[in-house]
Structure 1
Amino acid sequence: MKRNLPSVRHIAGATLLIGLSCVTVPLHCEPIALDFSQHEIGIDSSFTGAQVLLFGAIQGRRDGDIMIVLRGPNYPTVVRRKARTAGIWLNRSEVVFVVAPGYYAIGASSPVDEILDTRQREVNQIGLNNIKLMSEGAVARGGSSAQYQSALLRHKVEQGLYFDEPIPIEFIGANLFRARFNFPSTVPPGAYKATVHHIEDGEVVATGTTSLRIRKIGLEARIYQTAHDSPWLYGILAVVLALMAGWLASAIFRRS
């Protein structure tokens, strides 16, 4: 089930304290004070998704806009292209994206194209088309790796893991801001990093980062860990369980 968020009063109060502490000791503070409403999300059998609040405070007088980039852990991702051969759909070619974020979302306090120009968006990897995806593998005749990248982005958006529209950033008072990020039930475990840019006149003038972790808990965690640490053992157990299930089903049908 989805996790509850803290009240706005508590969040605003905590953020204000962060801002005041930074004003008191400016040499030891980041230009932007940031925090998540929770720093860890547990995935168990009842997990249906979660919503997390990112809040922050700008030091000094607020001018310009805020841009947030939230990325999940990088995973190798394979995109295959099928073709019909003798009435059967077969994999004809594939491209492996060696580094692809498992989750990607951006937040903006104004329309993105009004905040940063094309070059700045490319440099800071803001927007789906600006994600740097390293690919390798065979490409079908007449195709290109760009087609496979478009297919990957489209599939991730359909899964709710990538967002093609920016999440709105709300300002609370003069210097406080917040943004809500949703995670679907299929969100991959790992470390998530939020990079927040303070932008004035089309230039990034300050940057801050914060992170959260998503991990499996309970029986799911043990199964997941076994599959990654000892894949041979996981494979043997899966085969044994399948054989036992088949034998049990056969015995039940024979009796009936």
Structure 2
Amino acid sequence: MFGGFVGFNKDRGGDWGENLLNTVASNTIRHLFTRSELVEVEVRCHPSSKLLQGTIDSFKMSGRGLVIRRDFRTEEMSFETDTVALDFSSVLQGKISLKQPTQAIAQVKLTETDINKSFKADLVRKRLENLDLPALTEISGGEPVSFTDVEVQLLPNNSIQLFAKASWSERSIPVSFRCTLEVARRRKIIFGNLQFDPDPIPEELQELSQKLTTALGEILNEMVDLDRFDLDGVTMRLNRLETEGKNLLFSGYAQIERVPQVG
């Protein structure tokens, strides 16, 4: 998930141990992102002699334009670990192996544009198209239903407006609702307090559109689960989220059992 590197720790007094660790960390992180616009890494270890004993004070990464799993772009991402105990011999071999788990505080910024692009990703489309759930086939007369052309508008107070089209056979029904984004069990994003918005829907389609809106809300509530995006050896959890203009901000933490080799 973490891609190309620019400007990380260029010269920190010529300390070979820290420079080596920075190089190995950058190479490791490079393989975790599909691509990136900027990534900066800083290893803190004072005095630097602690590194030879396998201890560093913290590891910090900040990046911009990071693309995860080819389709999911984050405008900004940063994390900083607690004290890290690592096997220094693994660093000499070009790897990073932890002696014990560590935690990192993380912050992520998503733009409205990137959120909308994510709804076009194959991973998301597969969960929204050709659905044969009973609640939907009852509406469509037994035909699978697809939700397409999803567009999200970020609103103040953690709210969003969502537009979409529900299609089956030769029918296409517009769907529109407002809701509040909430964090559940620190790993799921819930589309709470969902309210059907009839204003953009033709009057003759409003009753049908409202039923489809309810079904779409239930589907979305099962989609955004961080456990589906965990890297090998890393468990991510959310503490809070908030809308800020055309951005959606997340803060949380990661429990790192081992450093993943690929995203």
Same fold, TM exceeding 0.5?
Answer: no
Report the structure, 1 or 2, having the larger helix content.
1
TM score, norm. by length of structure 2: 0.26
TM score, norm. by length of structure 1: 0.26
Q: Which has the higher contact order (CA 8 A, sep 6+)?
A: 1
